[in-house]
A = this chain, B = another copy of it.
Amino acid sequence: MEGHDHSHKERKQVVNRLARIEGHVRSIKEMATDGRDCPDLLLQIAAVRKALDGVAKVILKDHLEQCVMAAAGQSNQEQVLEDLQNALDHFIR
């Protein structure tokens, strides 16, 4: 699914955060290659997980403001809510 007609106003911030997370994972990979200690690696992995939660929050907030509100009263409203519910089910464990 893509291209429904609304803007994601925080999308640039989301891309920037994901770029930082990508770099962070790359640096952890390099730490592992260099034989760095396990607790150091675990701390960095925990930091990445926290950053992922942060970007997920931004996406979710954006989604609630832009997508769900835009769908109110439209014919695809139930599908939008079902997609969101599905995403949340996978995210919140």
Q: Which residues of A contact B (CB under 8 A)?
A: 1-4, 8, 11, 14-15, 18-19, 21-22, 25-26, 28-29, 32-43, 45-49, 52-53, 55-56, 59-60, 62-63, 67, 83-84, 86-88, 90-91
- Tell me what chain A mostly uses at the interface: helix, strand, loop, or mixed: helix
Instruction: Report 27 cross-chain contacts, Cβ distance below 8 Å, ordered by A residue.
Output: A1-B36, A1-B37, A3-B35, A8-B35, A11-B33, A15-B29, A15-B32, A18-B25, A18-B28, A22-B22, A22-B25, A37-B67, A38-B62, A39-B63, A39-B83, A39-B86, A41-B59, A42-B59, A43-B86, A43-B90, A43-B91, A45-B56, A46-B56, A46-B90, A47-B90, A49-B49, A49-B91
Q: How far is the CA of A62 from the CA of B37 in the complex (A)?
A: 11
